[in-house]
A and B are shown apart, each in its own frame.
Chain A
């Protein structure tokens, strides 16, 4: 059972480059999330999708875009990467947005030089 799969696991970018983080879940969950985690800051919500076809901003959406491609997939795009976006990114999903058990992917470590 794969759960939540994120790709890539590691990426180094130069300032101004673009990239897309991919996330897929095989649990038939309705809701999906993107968080970033920085030292001393905990997990901060970037965007979430309560259901297929909807997306909403979280706490720190600036500099990011998302696409809920279908029920399984939720991608995060950095159009013009900045050093401040160096972080560990986690994708997560749950059955419904009013339940608290999020299932996380293993994380994607992004460094922007």
Chain B
């Protein structure tokens, strides 16, 4: 089993739709969690951190479920500019401390 897994999609949604991505992780000692965004042929950039209590940044909401070992990203009122690949990342615990492991990414396309 991969350490961090995502549904690769692709997700094709109309403008204004709400879309949610999940990401599961296998290391129960993992300490911190993140969502990155990667535009086509560009480098990944941090979108938001994921806190235990959940956090929101405008149209984006991230949540963590430690019991089930997954994180989620919800995008409301999708815009064309949200089209990108979304990567979850997990900072492991134990022997994986300090290593940020990424999922394979979920491709989102928002169409008019």
What is A's interface to B at a CB cutoff of 8 Å?
31, 33, 35, 40-45, 48, 50, 58-59, 90, 97-102, 104-107
Taken together as a complex, chains A and B put the C-alpha atoms of A97 and B87 apart, in Å, by 19
Known: A90-B43, A104-B45, A107-B43. A98 touches B98 (CB 8 A): yes
Listed in ascending order, the chain B residues whose CB lies under 8 Å from chain A are 4, 6, 8, 31-34, 42-46, 49, 87, 89, 91, 97-105
- Tell me what chain A mostly uses at the interface: helix, strand, loop, or mixed: loop
Query: SS class of chain B's interface: helix, strand, loop or mixed?
Result: strand
Q: 19 A–B contact pairs at CB < 8 A? A: A40-B8, A42-B87, A42-B103, A43-B102, A45-B100, A45-B101, A48-B98, A48-B99, A97-B98, A98-B98, A99-B32, A100-B33, A101-B46, A101-B49, A102-B44, A102-B46, A104-B43, A104-B45, A106-B42
Cβ 8 A contact of A100, one of B34, B43, B97: B34
- Which of A43, A98, A101 neighbours the largest number of chain B CB atoms within 10 Å of its CB? A43
Bound form: Cα–Cα A104–B34 in Å: 15
A41 contacts B46, C-beta separation under 8 Å = no
List of B residues within 8 angstroms of A97 by Cβ:
97-99
Contact between chains at A59 and B101 (CB < 8 Å):
yes
Known contacts A42-B87, A90-B43, A107-B43; decide if A100 and B49 are in contact (CB<8 Å): yes
